[in-house]
Amino acid sequence: MGDFVRVEINDGIATIRLERPPMNALNTQVQEGLRAAAAQTGADPEVRAVIVYGGEKVFAAGADIKEMADMSYVDMSARAAHLSSAFDAIARIPKPVVAAITGYALGGGCELALACDWRVVADDAKLGQPEIKLGIIPGAGGTQRLARLVGPARAKDLIFSGRMVDAEEALRIGLADRVVPAAEVYDAAVALVGPYVNGPAQALRAAKLAVDGGLELDLASGLAWESQLFAGLFATEDKREGMTAFVEKRKPDFTGR
């Protein structure tokens, strides 16, 4: 994962931690570190949930502008898909994923947060897509995931203006899911995903695939996709355990199989 991205695993929760001070600028090394971390945490059966965390001071203040400043169209056309797919790797982790946001989540940092299932945000944090102020647009999912999350009109407001939003506005428009004091962000993220550690891992995976995949389909195709995933879960041990426990009026003991 390189020098700037580290994975820590504790009690079934993996923390993908950005470590490129002072602002966790998302250069090529960080992007590829995120890709590797997504592959590791997605494949590890001991990992049941994931937190993406930039530390106590800042989540990620954006891409490394110095790295991009001298790039030409030809240069970026060769790199852009790799940038987008690195963040997409986070979005495709087949487990619950939460971004724990302190300080700033701007540009690529906001796009990384958007790739997660939820966002726990410090009450003094700032989020936004300021790329327009550099004469460009978001290029790692910002125009697509933000519009799907907060609606096209609000997404256009943020992307066209490049303005930052505070935690209160982020919560109001749906960009944040929980707002807590800065010192409590990581613990709140753990609390959010903690209940899934002992949950039915295959059903959680299917639920994420159904929701995320269905957003790309028309309703009829989405319903067919849901039906396939639903039926597939009848081959799992957790389905048998869950239904048996219901009949026996006890708490299920899921194994993730």
Choice among 8, 19, 46, 111 that is catalytic: 111
- Of 131, 168, 184, 216, which residue is the catalytic one? 131
**What are φ and ψ of residue 25, in 5° steps?**
-60, 135
Assess whether 111 carries a catalytic annotation. yes
DSSP conformation class of 19: -
**In whole angstroms, what separates CA 31 from the centre of its chain?**
14
CA terminus-to-terminus distance, the chain: 28
Return the axis-axis angle of helices 201-214 and 219-232, rounded to nearest 10°.
170
Count Cα neighbours of 225 within 13 Å in the Cβ-side half-sphere: 17
DSSP state of 26: B
Contact between 175 and 167 under an 8 Å Cβ cutoff? The reply is no
Please say if 169 is a catalytic residue: no
- Concatenating the DSSP letter of every residue in 54-96 gives --SS-SB--B-HHHHTT--HHHHHHHHHHHHHHHHHHHT-SS-
Residues with catalytic annotation?
Answer: 111, 131
